[in-house]
Chain A
Amino acid sequence: MTYRRIRWLKFTAPANFYALVQRLAPWLWAGAAVLAVAGLYTGFFVAPPDYQQGNSYRIMFIHVPTAWMGMFLYLLMAVYAVIYLVWRIKMADIMARSLAPTGALMTLLALWTGALWGAPTWGTFWVWDARLTSTLILLFLFLGYIALHAAVDDREKGGRAASLLALIGAVNVPIIYFSVEWWHTLHQGMSITLTQAPTMAPSMFTALLLMTGACWLYSAAVTLRRAQAEALERESDSQWVTEAVQREHALRQPAAPAVRAVEPRGAISKEGDS
């Protein structure tokens, strides 16, 4: 059996990255949709009401995945920020910048759904406890990253400054995660850990996992697509962009002979993006 080594570094080249995402994205969208349908069905029609909270606990199926995604996307953004700061790889900055809006939205949704879950459960929409406050700080870190990157005219300088902010802010993620253990919080402790069985019914846990998978694939699809757009914008004068655009244009308008006539046979075509 022969192993084909994947040369990951080749995807630091925007042209290769673009072609890879062209092939990957439809599967990510489809996977997210399938998992979301399965998760929603399990969450609303299989999982029973909670013996204490009734049906309000069903907010968990989007609250927990969005909160996890917020933290995960921030850490991923910080990793790309480090790569950009150390090796100055342009794609790393593009990836970090593409992760930030989705991370911010996921964190916002975690806060919103948390407030609507808290109201019937705790009797309040908001409380300044460690978990909620540190999650709010996470949202501000995402927004700060986006604002700082956009505020500096020189894209490289803006990228470096924002990367530094992302890196420093990463310290907040373990604070969020362990806040329910380190401090007395109104927020409940961890129901799911890597070392113990989950403290919830199997059907609830299944729905939660399915919705987490859906959020994960959605985030992957939307951030990779955003990174593609960002790469096209930054590299708009490059030959690979011209080739990719002409090729896609020709695919969408097969009757346009003028475009077909100049369809290139360059790197993108050889990649066979579909």
Chain B
Amino acid sequence: MWDGIGDFIAMGGHGPYVWGSYGVFAMVLLAEVSVLARRRHRIRTILARRSSPGAASTWNQKQEESLEP
């Protein structure tokens, strides 16, 4: 269907519109997943520290660390 990679990227002159759509689509979803992954990592790290047996001695200064995002 496509006459080489250049033809595919050009999209019959509509390349900026098509790739502008797909590019932002991909970036937004990647950003959402990455923000969520960081949030999950943060909360698990805090909770793991809090619940580990040595938490009382190793984590005194961070007891007040908030779980709120």
What residues make up the interface of A, taking CB atoms closer than 8 Å to B?
Answer: 44-45, 48-49, 54-56, 58-59, 62-63, 66, 101-102, 105, 108-109, 112-113, 116-117, 119-120, 218, 222, 225-226, 228-229, 232-233, 236, 241-242, 245-246, 248-249, 258-259, 261-262
In the complex, A59 Cα to B25 Cα: how many Å? 10
What residues make up the interface of B, taking CB atoms closer than 8 Å to A?
Answer: 1-2, 8, 11-14, 17-18, 20-22, 24-25, 28-29, 32-33, 36, 39-40, 43-44, 47-48, 50-54, 67-69
In the complex, A222 Cα to B25 Cα: how many Å? 15
In the complex, A66 Cα to B22 Cα: how many Å? 12
Contacting residues, chain A, for B53 (C-beta < 8 A): 258-259, 261-262
A62-B21 in contact given A232-B43, A245-B48, A245-B51 (Cβ < 8 Å): yes
Query: Which of chain A's residues has its CB closest to B13's CB?
Result: A54
Q: How many residue pairs bridge A and B at CB < 8 Å?
A: 100
Q: Are A258 and B67 in contact (CB under 8 A)?
A: no
In the complex, A3 Cα to B48 Cα: how many Å? 39
Q: Are A245 and B44 in contact (CB under 8 A)?
A: yes
In the complex, A22 Cα to B14 Cα: how many Å? 42
Q: Are B47 and A56 in contact (CB under 8 A)?
A: no
Q: Are A229 and B33 in contact (CB under 8 A)?
A: no
Contacting residues, chain B, for A229 (C-beta < 8 A): 36, 39-40, 43
Contacting residues, chain B, for A56 (C-beta < 8 A): 11-12, 14, 17-18
